Structures are given as C-alpha cells and as structure tokens.
Structure 1
Amino acid sequence: MTTKRWTTATLTVALLATAGAPAQQAAPRPQPAPARSADAAPTRSPDAASAAALLPQTQALYDGYVRAKKMPGIVGAFGLGELPTVFVAAGDISLDPGAAAAGPDSLWRVYSMTKPVTGMAAMLLVEDGKLSLDDPLSKFFPAFAKMRVLTSPDTSLDTRPATKPITIRELMTHTSGLGYQINAKGPLLKEYERLGLVPFTANAQTEAQARRTRPASLIAFAERAAQAPLVAEPGTTWHYSMGLDVLAAVVEKVSGMLFERFVQTRLFAPLRMTSSFWQVPRANIGRFASNYVFVEDTLSPLDPAARSPWLEAPSFPYGGAGLVSSARDYDRFLHMLQNYGTLDGVRVMKDATARLAMSNLMPSGVTFDNDGQQRGFGAGGVVYLTDDPAGASKGSYGWAGAAGTLAIVDPAKRFRSTIMVNYFPAEKWPLGKETFGAIRRDAARLHGGRW
C-alpha cells in the first residue's frame, strides 16, 4: 500500500539546507529507557516477543531496517477485527546513546495523518446538523465569497474571477482550488510566504522564520487564506492543499469551541487517545522521537526531540499537519473507524457518519492518480475505488505523513495498519510495499493466506 505524501522537492531542499552535513487495548504505559553504550545492539519494546512469534517476517523486516541504518527505529500497529493489536517494533527513537527503544507509546510527528482526524471532527458537526458538506465556505468566512483563480499558477499571479463557490466537501477532499506552500512554485510560493500561510512545523530554524509572518490564530489563518489566489476552479480538480487547515477553522467557528478542545472532547477523550498532542508535554520528552533527514544515504539530525519546537505551543493547531501521536493511539482511531464509529463499547460517531466519512466525497467526475491507480478522497483521507493489487480492499481509507508515517483501515477485511517512523524524505524507503509484503507472508503462515 502506498499513499500520496505531502513532501515535495521544495520542502526536502529546504530541510536539507537546515540540517547541515551528515553527522481491548491497554492505556499507555511509557517506560524509562535502560542506559547502554553507544555501540550496544538495538533494543526492542516489551511487546517484541509476541510480535516476533505472530509476525516473524514483519519483525525481521523491521529489524533489518534498523540493522542497515535505514532508520533509528520503527513501530507498526496491526489489528484484525477485535483481536488484540499486534505491535511490531525495532530500534530506538533516536540515534543518541541510551535512547529509549521504539515502542507502542513512543511519540512521532504524524504530519498529514492529522488530516483524517480533522476530517472526522468536521463530520461530527455534519452529524450534529450544524454543518453540511455542500455549505459554501463563505457562509462561515465571508472573505471567501469572491475568490480569484490563477491563470498560470507556476509562473504568474495573474488571475480571473472564480465562477464557483468553495464548499465544505471541497475543503475535505483537496478540490477547493486552494494550494499549499509545500507544492507551490515561483510567485505563488512567495505570496504564501508573504501571507504567512505556512501551517506546519519542521524544526527550530524554519519555525522561527515561519512565525515572523504566520497568523497567530486558526481563525486569522483562514481569513488570511482567503487573500491568496486559487490554483484551480473549485470542484474541478484534485490539488493537495491547505484545505484541512481551513476546515479546522470552520470546525472552531461552527462548534463555538477551540478546535483542539473540540478534537479532545469529541475524539481523543472518548477513544482514550492519551498520547496525541498539538504540543508535546515536557514530561513526555523521554518517549518523543527525534526527526532526521537523509543526506544521500546518511541520516542527519533535523529536529532533535530535546530542542524541538513541538515542545512549545504552536501558532495554532494545524489541522493539516499538526499532531504528534503514538502507534497505540492512532490504532485506536483507526479501530473506531474499522468498527464504523465505536470502540470498547463507546460510540464516538454514528455508523452512517463513519461510512459517509470513509466514502468518496469528491465532486462528480473528479479523481486523482496515486501510483497509476485512480483514487477517491473522503473526509481527509484517500479512498480506494477498487481492490488494490497490494491487498487493500475497495473502500479502504487512510493517509500518510511527511516524515514517513502511514495509516490505513480496510473495513471490508476489518484490518488496520499504522506505521510510525520519523525521517525526510518519506519516500526514501518503500515502507508500505515492503511491510504489506511481509504481512502477507505472515498471514499465509497463520491463516492460509488470510490476515
């Protein structure tokens, strides 16, 4: 399984410039890391024994990644139906001597895997009757009533009037015509930077620069986004965008509650997701992974956990890329979706809401190409329109993050998968393809080919 990622050549080059040269589930129970020498063998989490017994091919793959220095550490969370989640982990949360072993409760920057969380938050307001998928965005932010569309997005800021309004559906599915700082070019990129439309955190250096112009609140961000030209006519094409960040502002305005409080109250608290943060509490720094960037084939520190800007409050909660989470927590989110809205006897959303959220919500006739396959898009995540050769069923839903994380839920098979790593660029290694190849081999041994 592969998914569209939001990293681009522009972002990677910028990060390389700052990095320099190479140099029923239980609640989380984070454990202190045992001290050991710098040349000691990589450790495994306490869950590794059961993982090695159940999924030996997957465990061997992850051990091999760490042994080959492809990553400091990795954690996979794999669930089938109501069977206990199997966590496969290898390596550590950083390359520093004595670093904690990677495990189910390690904290990772999930970047764009925030988008499904934001999408589901908005769907809860649809369920409440406070929001409609086809509401115009200008109903909540009047500045979007008269938008303009670029005539040559890569080379000029020349525009023409938009002929269609942006809708909530289009914000959710990247069909609004909004762009993104990470995939903009030329004059448009400079315009986004001038307006402070930079809704993500990379490291201390880039964060200091972004805060010079970035709006200080979610509502102000949305209002500023209305000042930027569109890259396409709303509802006509899929273009990866800051739409989910603007959607977070809609959630805040419609609910009358700060976006982060709404997510905490309606999703994280009932799901017992106790390790998902917009700001990492300093008490949890011992389980927070460092982020790296590849300089050729060598890992170089990009955002060391101890000095990370994620330890400070963000300018506002970035609905498109702002969360840090654990494999255990994100598995609980997927498990709820797998069950169409319930987990551990608690109903978070109605069955019909979950099914609608994971369906193709794109405007009629619009799809996007993902590695040669035409995909749909639901509430913040990709939707598989056909069975995938790699094994995901039609109707599977999920997304990926810029630092290598991956998540998918397959309701037809009642299967879910979360993969946590932290390095740029995400495409450095084919984690999804290789992980699901190993899972299939393990499944053949366990279930005669079924997992």
Structure 2
Amino acid sequence: MTNPKTISPAFDRRSVLGAIGASALLGGTSATAFARSMVKDPARFPGLTKIINDYVSEKKVAGMLAAIGYQQEAPTVISAGTQSLGGTTPVSMKTLWRMYSQTKPVTGMAAMMLVEDGKLDLDQPLSEILPEFKDMQVLVDPEGAVENTVAAKSPITIRQLQTHTAGLGYTIISKGPIQKAYLAAGLTPGRVSRNPIPGVDPGAPTPDLKTFIERLAELPLVYQPGSKWSYSLSHDVLSYVIEVISGKSLDAFLQERMFGPLGMNDMFYQVPADRVGDLADNYAPFAGSLFPIDPGATSIYLDAPAFAFGSTGLVGTAADYDKFLQMLLGFGRLGDVQVMKPETAKLGMSNLLPATADLSGTWVAKQGFGAGGRVGLGTAASPAGTFGWGGAAGTAAFVDTKNGFRAGGYTQYIPSNSYPFQSEFPKYVYADLLGADAVEGKTSP
C-alpha cells in the first residue's frame, strides 16, 4: 500500500495511560532495602512473573516483558511469549516495541536540555519562538462550534506545553467539531496501521512539521492556557520548538544530545530494514481473540514518519528505554556520561503544573506532572520521587528516585485499556518489592 495514512484510534480517556501511581504500596525504606537485593533475581517477583506468564498462556498477548533495576545496575528481566502470536522468536531485551506516548518524557527532557542551555525558559511565551501562536482564540464550549470563540486571556508558555495545560486539543481526547477539524487538517501524529480500522476516521495525511504547526495555530484552543489539564499535542509543538531553537530536527537533536551519548542505538523513528525481524506485532484484542493490526514484517513503522513526532513516534528496545530511565535515576548521568545537570533532571521530574490548572476528573487528579510524565507528590496515591508515563500499545515505565529503582513493562496491544496491565504495572512491581501477597494474576479488566 503506498502513501499510508497516519491514523488515530478512537480511544476513550483511559486508553492511553492508566495510573502510574502506586497507591499505598510504597513502603519507604523497606522498598529501598528490597530494591538493593532484587537485581538479577527474577524469583523476587513472583506476582509479576505469574501475571506475565498468565497473559501469555491465556493468549491475551503474544509476548510480554518487564525490566526492573536498582540505580544504574543491570536490570532483572522477566519475560514470556514471542514477538508474534504462534511465532518462534521470544521477546527479549532486543525486541523492538512501539513506545507511543512513552516518547513524551524523552521529548520533555530534550526540551529541559535547552532550558539548561539558557535558550529556553519554562515561563517563556511560546509566541516568542513560534509567532503563529500569538493572539490565540479559545472555544467557548470545548465541544462546540469552532467559530464560537473568545480571545485567550494569557499566552501559551513552555511550562504549559510540558504539562498539557496549554489548552491544545488531541484527536484521541477532543470531541465534537474541534476533533473533526483536527482530523481534516491532518493533526494526527500517531501511526497505527497501513490498513483502515473499522470505526476509526483516519483523517487527512499528517503534513510536514512546519505545516502541522501552522494548521494547529490557525485552530482555536480547547481551553484557556493554564486553566485545565488536558492531554494534547503539546509535545509535538515542543518538537518544533526544539527544531527552531537548536537548528536541528528532534530526531537529530536526540541523537546528538541523548541517544548517542547514552548508547541508545536501538531507538528509532523509522525501523531499519535490517531490524524488521526484531519488531513485535501489534494487536487489537476483540471478543477474546487477538487481531494483528500492525504485523512487524509489514509495519507502518518501516516507513519514515511525516516528522519526528514528539508525542508518539519512537520505537525501541526495553534495553534502550532502560538506559533513559537509568539516566533519570542518575539525575542526568549514566555511568561516566552526563547529558544534563542534576538540577535540570530534578526540575524535569518535579511538579511543573501551573497553580491555576484544574486537575479534577483527569488522569493526574491529586498528582503532579513534569516534563512529559506524571510526578508523585508524596501521598499514598502519589508516591514521592516517582516519575513516568506509558504508551497506547500497553507499555509503561517509571522511576522511583526516593527508593532508587526503575521499572518498564512492555507488550503490544491497542488500546491500552483493553487489559489492566499498563495501569496496574507499578502496583505489581511494588507488591513484590514489599513482600506483599503475590498478585493473583487476574488479567481481565
């Protein structure tokens, strides 16, 4: 199929990422002590191991893997299944997974590097960098006519882009005329399949980044800047901010400042031809069966994207994403390589939410949000020192800087709320860390 359209599945509000918070399972020093002893010992994770094995044996997924490590030591790896249902290649640390929105923290930290360089300020108006976003209009009704608008009361800022409080929309979240306008303009930076998916409007093809930004700026905001947390296209806007300021596309910037120095050699926007055999199939669970919607051998990720999406574009290995998590735990350092100052990494993993933002009814209610990921606030439902996010195909990853460990869970099914693996993954990890009764491995929602 030539010129495949970029498409965006019709997820509900929980489908991209469930809770990263670990509720009351965080146990302070006991978790720290256990974390030190867990490395290279999968037997320390009986609950998580059972859950992963159950998902595979019940054919809810083709394969599943978790990588959990203390500080910057090698991770414990728990895995089961294969890269394709009925296939013979087991999932491993070299398997390529569609990261989807796990791209956002990567883009967020790239933007923090420019803050560190003194070339960007969190409270800087976006229009100083991208004049297209000056004098924005805002919908009177978030689901109402796109012609019914009022002037924005304040400018969009970089802080708001980092924290999804800029007022921008998203086809997977927005409803009504603004969603249709986004689809018609090709404002859909997420690739799922070469083939049409029943019931899903693929919209117009996604344009190049400059055109994408121009079309986005012409449309009204969904909310007043700084007023509401609402999942959005903000990290794709940051992709262009990074390009304008650095003079390099996001993928080139990441390669120079993050991927190259950290040895993240298996993180791609386009899967190389010689790595096709490592790309897992992506499935849609339906009526107790798995339907392949993006087989690795013919994946849409073998084609170049319209641009390096800051929100959803990366495909990579668990090993490479683990290096990113190690860097965060090292507050900008992995081994002898320092890619950002400790204070920059800490700032990016801190609560950057504007005080004016309404969080009620959102995924981050009573929690914080930093540079592209959820932040713990030190409560039972929001453990201190935690930072992470997940992706639309069921992946999840987080760091716990207080207890000094990191964890990533990888599989491929879409939408991610088809099963509770993503939303419950942190709880599974903490339950084993604290010696709690093993989770029973029930995988039905």
Relative contact order higher in (CA < 8 Å, ≥ 6 apart): 2
Cα separation, partners in 2 of 1:91 and 1:140, compared to 1, 3 Å: same
Say if 2:364 and 2:374, in contact at 8 Å, map to a contact too. Answer: no
Per-residue deviation, 1:371: 6.2
| Alignment equivalent of 1:395, drawn from 385, 404, 413 | 385
Q: Distance in 2 between matches of 1:293 and 1:200?
A: 16
Cα separation, partners in 2 of 1:429 and 1:362, compared to 1, 3 Å: same
Is 2:83 aligned against 1:102? no
Letter in 2 for 1:204: R
Per-residue deviation, 1:339: 1.1
Q: Distance in 1 between matches of 2:377 and 2:434?
A: 26
Per-residue deviation, 1:428: 2.0
Is 2:297 aligned against 1:316? no
Q: Distance in 1 between matches of 2:308 and 2:74?
A: 32
Letter in 2 for 1:81: Q
After superposition, what is the alpha-carbon deviation per residue over 1:196-245, rounded to whole angstroms, capped at 9, x for unaligned?
A: 111110100359x85844212x2322222101110100011101000000
After superposition, what is the alpha-carbon deviation per residue over 1:315-364, rounded to whole angstroms, capped at 9, x for unaligned?
A: 11110000001111111101110111100111010000000000111111
Q: Distance in 2 between matches of 1:445 and 1:163?
A: 51
Say if 1:367 and 1:376, in contact at 8 Å, map to a contact too. Answer: no
Per-residue deviation, 1:441: 5.0
Letter in 1 for 2:189: P
| CA-atom RMSD in angstroms | 2.5
Is 2:413 aligned against 1:409? no
TM-score relative to the length of structure 1: 0.84
After superposition, what is the alpha-carbon deviation per residue over 1:360-389, rounded to whole angstroms, capped at 9, x for unaligned?
A: 111114353566851111011111112345
Q: Distance in 2 between matches of 1:348 and 1:280?
A: 25
Tell me what 1:41 maps to: none
Tell me what 2:67 maps to: 77
Say if 2:56 and 2:80, in contact at 8 Å, map to a contact too. Answer: yes
SS of the aligned residue for 1:285 comes to helix
Q: Distance in 2 between matches of 1:380 and 1:294?
A: 28
Letter in 1 for 2:386: S
Is 2:206 aligned against 1:191? no
After superposition, what is the alpha-carbon deviation per residue over 1:263-284, rounded to whole angstroms, capped at 9, x for unaligned?
A: 1111111111111100011111
Is 2:367 aligned against 1:375? yes
Q: Distance in 1 between matches of 2:338 and 2:42?
A: 33
Q: Which moved more, 1:354-363 or 1:57-66?
A: 57-66
Is 2:317 aligned against 1:326? yes
Say if 2:138 and 2:220, in contact at 8 Å, map to a contact too. Answer: yes
Cα separation, partners in 2 of 1:232 and 1:360, compared to 1, 3 Å: same
After superposition, what is the alpha-carbon deviation per residue over 1:124-144, rounded to whole angstroms, capped at 9, x for unaligned?
A: 000001111111111111111
Per-residue deviation, 1:417: 0.7
Tell me what 2:351 maps to: 360
Cα separation, partners in 2 of 1:84 and 1:364, compared to 1, 3 Å: same
Is 2:378 aligned against 1:386? yes
Q: Distance in 2 between matches of 1:133 and 1:12?
A: 28
Q: Distance in 1 between matches of 2:261 and 2:73?
A: 20
SS of the aligned residue for 2:354 comes to coil
Tell me what 1:59 maps to: 49
Q: How does 1:260-275 map to 2 (within 5 A)?
A: 260-275=251-266
SS of the aligned residue for 1:424 comes to coil
Cα separation, partners in 2 of 1:211 and 1:436, compared to 1, 3 Å: closer
Cα separation, partners in 2 of 1:262 and 1:154, compared to 1, 3 Å: same
Tell me what 2:123 maps to: 134
TM-score relative to the length of structure 2: 0.85
SS of the aligned residue for 2:114 comes to helix
Letter in 1 for 2:72: E
Cα separation, partners in 2 of 1:116 and 1:436, compared to 1, 3 Å: closer
Number of residues paired by the alignment?
402
Letter in 2 for 1:193: L
Letter in 2 for 1:133: L
Is 2:282 aligned against 1:305? no
SS of the aligned residue for 1:264 comes to helix
| Alignment equivalent of 1:287, drawn from 278, 288, 299 | 278
Gapped regions of structure 2 (runs ≥ 5): 1-7, 16-39, 437-445
Is 2:241 aligned against 1:235? no
Tell me what 1:182 maps to: 172
Cα separation, partners in 2 of 1:7 and 1:413, compared to 1, 3 Å: farther
Is 2:176 aligned against 1:172? no
Q: Distance in 1 between matches of 2:217 and 2:239?
A: 15
Cα separation, partners in 2 of 1:378 and 1:187, compared to 1, 3 Å: same
Identical positions, percent: 42
Per-residue deviation, 1:193: 1.3
Say if 2:395 and 2:410, in contact at 8 Å, map to a contact too. Answer: yes
Say if 1:276 and 1:325, in contact at 8 Å, map to a contact too. Answer: yes
Say if 1:177 and 1:230, in contact at 8 Å, map to a contact too. Answer: yes
Q: Distance in 1 between matches of 2:96 and 2:77?
A: 14
Cα separation, partners in 2 of 1:371 and 1:118, compared to 1, 3 Å: closer
Q: Distance in 1 between matches of 2:218 and 2:190?
A: 19
SS of the aligned residue for 1:155 comes to coil
Letter in 2 for 1:80: Y
Gapped regions of structure 1 (runs ≥ 5): 1-5, 14-49, 447-451
Cα separation, partners in 2 of 1:293 and 1:433, compared to 1, 3 Å: closer
Letter in 2 for 1:383: V
Q: Distance in 1 between matches of 2:50 and 2:117?
A: 46
